[in-house]
Chain A
């Protein structure tokens, strides 16, 4: 895609953005509704001098991405629910080894094969807690084709900045939708911090960001990269203090930067008495419903999360003090609402509008629920 205006598919916008953000390695496995990302990569990655690999499964795809990242690549894989489940162990490996990479989940409706072609937002807790062990995750949620582009660029920048896997939690609706896309002439990119001295510790740092420098293979650093608990040098060591040091730091480096990472859009929120909280595709009818509620004279506001994790707790907490009701709209049986309830802690009524079955909540459904609480 050339810079300028296009009528583009969400999945293609994602792939184009990845290449523009510097992605030069993509490994994936066929799955609906994420396939167009692979198709676009297969055509365009080699044109940029990058590598497109179709692996034998999703486990191998994320593994190859991690291997390529340590060889110096900005690397990405894309999948949907079943493949995302398969990737979880190696996503945990990426957390433990602090490997920058981007994982796109074009969410579909499950459990299991479910409604393979239809959208959902059911994997948001899998993004947060899917792998075993303790870690913090960065997960972004685009609501439009343009945001498929913009947030993919951001996902790469966050991955490189914080040396961590970043989840782009798209869904079948956004991935398979054609909409206006403006491809900019230039996208701002962040590069990972390489070693500044030969004896750098690849898994420990004094830097206040808590993000260690990342040496690469083949440069004489005698790297020990392991998913086992390790010392800052990489040497495997199961001692409690090393495990605590490691896990606390990889959590803290994300939590400490919450303000920098957090990204949300508020509409009509300042004087709102009810706040509609949503993200991704389900936020689209919410936006329209809030506008109509305002036309009806109801003081409704709209909070759209573009980062799901880390959760912008401060923002939601402030809202809980301000509004009488928080209304969470999502395409699952009610997942984000649990988090909102936890943060609101009884200060505001929390209402869930959840929709499953591979269909979006309608503007009318959202509006009706707003009328119900206002």
Chain B
């Protein structure tokens, strides 16, 4: 990453006005990574078009990005962007969407844009809920999760968007979280440079809604960090060394009682901590010294089972880099074939 001062990015790329985002929202981080990416690529701002749909993610570029923005209807950003990109393929077109916007109401456009391999970079901000409208279940909400529209637990299971979009034919697919700003910035650059459909999912914190969804009890100013901890504990980066001496103890009953039981064993080589994971809920993270016999913890009455270091976690990283005919180039080929140049 370059060492330009924050002020430079603000003055060059950001439309000056009060931020509409909640304190601690992940959107600012994503905007920051995006403007750094286009700056590092040296793309003139006038060539950039940001298209977005409806939801908090849509407000990342509109009105914050001080360039051309098209803030469209719910879920349809990719279809709008397709028209603009086809007619003016010089536009470096980036779509900002959310999990509800992009994978729920706009899911059809997402898979078809990937299938066409149109040269658009899509940044999908995943906060696992419809956050702007009040925290309802989204197609990315975990099974069993409690929200305002799943008060008895979510009866649905979430999409794995990386698998979905990979299967649909995207030629660059990555997933990061707002914890991984360096990797995310690099992926946005790679996505823009990819001559085809690039999809970058970003797991992002929403302190306003996720406090309820993940059942985090803390003061407001600590919430963003707490949600990021949830994301951190629920993910691992593909290809990085596995931290072998970690287990996650899933409780039979109360997680607090289980932690007390683990602590009462007074094992000097073990540290335990209550953490929240979006796949497993409140669990106790147990870090043991090398060679520790996990059977002693597993044998406890209050422990349902132990999860391995990365078991059940969501994988982050770059998943697809491929080459396939790009849509707008194919359209220009058709015009040449028809003699319309």
Contact = CB atoms under 8 A, between A and B. Distances in A.
Contacts of B67: 222
Contact of B84 (A53, A68, A226): A68
Given A59-B79, A63-B80, A67-B80, A72 B87 contact: yes
Contact of A46 (B82, B83, B90, B334): B334
Contact of A50 (B70, B91, B340): B340
27 contacts: A24-B87, A25-B86, A27-B83, A46-B334, A47-B340, A51-B331, A51-B335, A53-B83, A57-B108, A60-B112, A61-B79, A63-B82, A64-B79, A65-B83, A66-B72, A71-B83, A71-B84, A72-B87, A217-B91, A218-B68, A218-B90, A223-B68, A224-B63, A226-B62, A226-B71, A228-B71, A236-B71
A221 B87 contact: no
Interface of B: 15, 17, 46-47, 49, 51, 62-63, 66-73, 76, 79-88, 90-91, 108-109, 112, 331, 334-335, 337-341
B184 to A, nearest CB: 25
Interface in A205-221: 217-221
A8 interface: no
Interface in A222-280: 222-228, 234-236
Contact of B73 (A27, A68, A93): A93
A346 interface: no
Nearest to B17: A235
Nearest to A24: B87
B86 A90 contact: no
A149 interface: no
Contacts of A64: 79-80, 82-83, 86
B46 A56 contact: no
Contact of B83 (A47, A63, A224): A63
Given A67-B51, A71-B91, A222 B66 contact: yes
Contact of A227 (B73, B331, B341): B73
A221 B83 CA distance: 19
Q: From B66, B80, B83, B339, name the one whose CB has the most chain A CB atoms within 10 angstroms.
A: B83
Nearest to A55: B79
A77 to B, nearest CB: 10
B338 A217 contact: no
B340 A48 contact: yes
Given A24-B87, A226-B62, A67 B331 contact: no
B69 A225 contact: yes
B88 A217 contact: yes
Given A56-B112, A67-B81, 7 more contacts: A45-B340, A46-B337, A60-B108, A63-B83, A73-B83, A222-B66, A224-B62
A49 B68 contact: no
Contact of A53 (B73, B86, B108, B341): B86
B340 A46 contact: yes
Nearest to B341: A49
A131 B106 CA distance: 19
A307 to B, nearest CB: 27
Contact of A66 (B47, B83, B108, B331): B83
Contact of B62 (A55, A69, A236): A236
B46 A73 contact: no
Contacts of B338: 43, 46-47
A70 B83 CA distance: 9
A75 interface: yes
A89 interface: yes
A217 B63 CA distance: 15
A63 B91 contact: no
Contacts, number: 141
Contact of A60 (B66, B76, B84, B337): B76
B101 to A, nearest CB: 13
B136 to A, nearest CB: 20
Interface in A312-348: none
Contacts of A235: 17, 63
Q: From B46, B86, B339, name the one whose CB has the most chain A CB atoms within 10 angstroms.
A: B86
Contacts of B80: 63-64, 66-67
Interface in A266-299: none
Contacts of A68: 83-84, 86-87
Nearest to A216: B88
Interface string A153-185: 000000000000000000000000000000000
B273 to A, nearest CB: 43
Nearest to A65: B83
B46 A227 contact: no
Contacts of B337: 46
Contacts of B339: 47
Interface in A1-45: 24-25, 27, 43, 45
Given A24-B87, A25-B87, A218 B71 contact: no
Contacts of A45: 340
A67 B340 contact: no
A72 B46 CA distance: 15
Contacts of A43: 338
A217 B331 contact: no
B82 A217 contact: no
B49 A218 contact: yes
A89 B109 CA distance: 16
A170 to B, nearest CB: 23
Contacts of A236: 62-63, 71
Contacts of A65: 83
Nearest to A27: B83
A47 to B, nearest CB: 5
A17 to B, nearest CB: 18
Contacts of A63: 72-73, 76, 79-80, 82-83
A50 B84 CA distance: 13
A218 B47 contact: yes
Contacts of A75: 83, 87
A187 B47 CA distance: 34
Contacts of A71: 83-85, 87-88, 91
Q: From B47, B66, B84, name the one whose CB has the most chain A CB atoms within 10 angstroms.
A: B84
A200 B96 CA distance: 27
Nearest to B48: A218
A163 B308 CA distance: 61
A343 B73 CA distance: 36
B107 to A, nearest CB: 11
A299 B35 CA distance: 73
Contact of B88 (A56, A72, A225, A226): A72
